[in-house]
Chain A
Amino acid sequence: MTLLEFAISNLRRRAARSGLTMSAIALGIAAVVALTSIAWGFEASWQKANDARGTDLIVTRVASENTMPTPFREERVRQVLAAMPHVHEVVGLLSEMLTVSEDAPPVFVFGWVYGSYLWDHLKLQQGHWPREPMEDGVVIGSIAAETLHKKVGDFIEIEGKRFAVIGLFESSAVVENGALIMTLDQAQLITDKPGKVNVLNIKLDTTASEAEVQAIKERVKRELPGYVAITSGELVRKNAVVRISKAMSNATILIAGLVGALVVFNTMLMSINERTKEIGILLALGWQRATVMKLVFSEAVVLSLLGGAAGILVGIGIAWGLEHVELMRGKIDPVFSVPFCFAVLGLSVLLGICGGIYPALKAARMQPSAALRYE
């Protein structure tokens, strides 16, 4: 019998306790997996939306940290930006989270400049795109259509104004699939923000180098005080919701780590105490102290490895379930990757090792004579 088989057989001898310990580790790891994947997914989804549109730089107000940056009058800023080298197109975007149905949670309503490049990446499934800047129509993302139970030809009331659903689209970004899009002119009209946008999207020509992009950023800082030009990734990382969700995910990792290590510690310590005599016999039979330590560590690592694996599966299940809850549909897009799963499994094993250190040392330090007399 190998040491690993011996360790597994020890765990199986106390099946109920081993099961409970693994469950506790699994729950902690599941919370880590679900929250981290959602936090990363939230960030990735917004970045994907910006990247898919083909935006190279985003100009916004310096202090903007909310989900959608504070609106500003775009005309002067747009003119300054349009005159900069390599700037191919500057288009405004206005967005708000609005309740458009009493039976459904609020959805993002975007206003995009009619005919601009922002529309190019969307795939029209049914209907048509707006045909003029002031058309009283919205195109609806596939998830929003399901959530709001709307199809092409239906009507939606947004901020007291009736809009026809003129098209249904699919995007590679889940935040856009959960949104309604109308022309910027209409969005400004219904939100009473004439001439205002949340952000200006800049599309550069293909010849712009990294250094030239950096030069544009510097020029915006100099020529447009109060505004900043950043990449979509920088904008998303500044976002308060992204920062809060990441902080929550980090806090969960910390708490789950502590709880997991304590659970393993407690289980292994109890197991060592109960098996004092057995360990004494092993030592008396000539087992090295290092072998006893390896045995205890093996048991702790097997426990945490199995708990971690189960936790990853449960975490993926929780995130998947949340993604399909009506309130969250179209707003979260959990991100899982093989390296992430291995990292979480590594964390789990680390918990096992941390929790097993003291019990392993205690077992290895036993005097066989004292252990054999232990009642």
Chain B
Amino acid sequence: MTRMLVLAGLMLVACQVDAAGLNGAEAAEKMRQARLSDGFEARMDVLVTLPDGAHPAPLKLSVIGQMTRERQRVLVRGIAPASVKDRYIVAERVTGGSVRAWRYDAKLKPQAVSPMEGIFGSSLAVWDFFTPWWGWHKQEMLGAGKVRGHDCDKIRSQADQPADKVQYVESCIDSKTGVAFETRQYDARHVLQRESSVVALIRKESGGQAAKKSRVKDGSGKVSAIDVYAGDEEYQVTAETFAVLDRLSADQ
């Protein structure tokens, strides 16, 4: 009987793999690897729809990121409209996996903000750029899925820290291309905090794929339609790029 249970357990484990034959941890590692970059830049139009259907002025943002094994940091710059022009949000992932963020502009000294806060009033958060859930220890494959005609594998990532706002994330991924077609973030009470889905893909120079158009909805019902209209996969991060972050780190 015990032997049968062990065998059944092994069979169950064998089923917990994605289409590429990877288990949860391996699939999550693939997703992390797909995001590694010495430097990238993406410029995007963000059209926000408020829960009452109103549209604030469309945002134009520039996002510069560096995602290496040693250092992960992101700089968001507002391009338009005038209310966000040359306003910045800088964020980094620190040891232990948490993300911290600051907001600043030419006049304003850097102020700490929540990385979960919507960027310039949108439902897009800097926390999402770091996809920290791929670094969490508990990763569980949930089976096959389909999003907008794309076959993908469902995976649940469980937060390491019980106090974190987002306690688990369910995604539908293609670990071969590193694309998460759909991502849902839940708190401890299983309330949906934010969901994002990829609407259109673009082929990267490296051969992989990335989201060209996507949609992010937060818990309040605010929706952001994001269209990446330009980018640079090999952005040259200089000493100046994250100088503010370096100063903040030195101060602490």
Residues of A at the B interface (CB closer than 8 Å) are 61, 63-64, 70-73, 96-99, 102, 106, 157, 159-160, 191-196
Contacts and interface: CB of A to CB of B under 8 A. Distances in A.
Contact of A70 (B58, B60, B79, B233): B233
6 contacts: A73-B236, A96-B230, A99-B229, A159-B60, A160-B78, A191-B230
A196 B86 CA distance: 22
B156 interface: no
Contact of B43 (A63, A106, A159, A195): A159
A63 B232 CA distance: 14
Nearest to A159: B79
A19 to B, nearest CB: 41
Contacts of A98: 229-230
A70 B232 CA distance: 8
A71 B43 contact: no
B62 interface: yes
Given A63-B205, A191-B230, A193-B232, A160 B41 contact: no
B230 A160 contact: no
Contacts of A157: 80
Nearest to B85: A160
A98 B228 CA distance: 11
B202 to A, nearest CB: 9
Contact of B236 (A99, A106, A191, A195): A195
B236 A194 contact: yes
A358 B58 CA distance: 61
B182 interface: no
Interface residues of B, number: 21
Contact of A192 (B62, B78, B80, B229): B62
A61 B232 CA distance: 13
A256 to B, nearest CB: 27
Contacts of B195: none
Interface string B214-252: 000000000000000110111110000000000000000
Interface string B44-59: 0100000000000010
Nearest to B79: A160
Nearest to A106: B229
Contacts of A64: 205
Interface string B76-107: 00111000011000000000000000000000
Given A159-B43, A195-B236, A97 B62 contact: no
Contacts of B60: 159-160
A72 B235 CA distance: 9
Q: Which are the 3 A-B pairs with shortest beta-carbon distances?
A: A160-B79, A70-B205, A96-B230
A72 B41 CA distance: 13
A160 B86 contact: yes
A63 to B, nearest CB: 5
Contact of A99 (B41, B45, B78, B233): B45
A33 to B, nearest CB: 30
Contacts of A192: 41, 62, 64, 232, 235
B62 to A, nearest CB: 6
Contacts of A70: 205, 233
Interface string B188-208: 000000000000000001010
A99 to B, nearest CB: 7
A64 B85 CA distance: 32
Given A193-B232, A196-B232, 15 more contacts: A61-B205, A98-B229, A98-B230, A99-B45, A99-B229, A106-B229, A157-B80, A159-B43, A159-B79, A160-B60, A160-B78, A160-B79, A191-B230, A192-B41, A194-B236
Contacts of B205: 61, 63-64, 70
B229 A97 contact: yes
Nearest to A96: B230
Contacts of B80: 157, 160
Contacts of B43: 159, 191
Contacts of A159: 43, 60, 79
A195 B62 CA distance: 18
A191 B60 CA distance: 12
B223 to A, nearest CB: 20
B227 to A, nearest CB: 10
A133 to B, nearest CB: 20
A308 B93 CA distance: 65
Contacts of B79: 159-160
Contacts of B229: 97-99, 106
B139 to A, nearest CB: 32
Contacts of A97: 229-230
Contacts of A191: 43, 230
A329 to B, nearest CB: 19
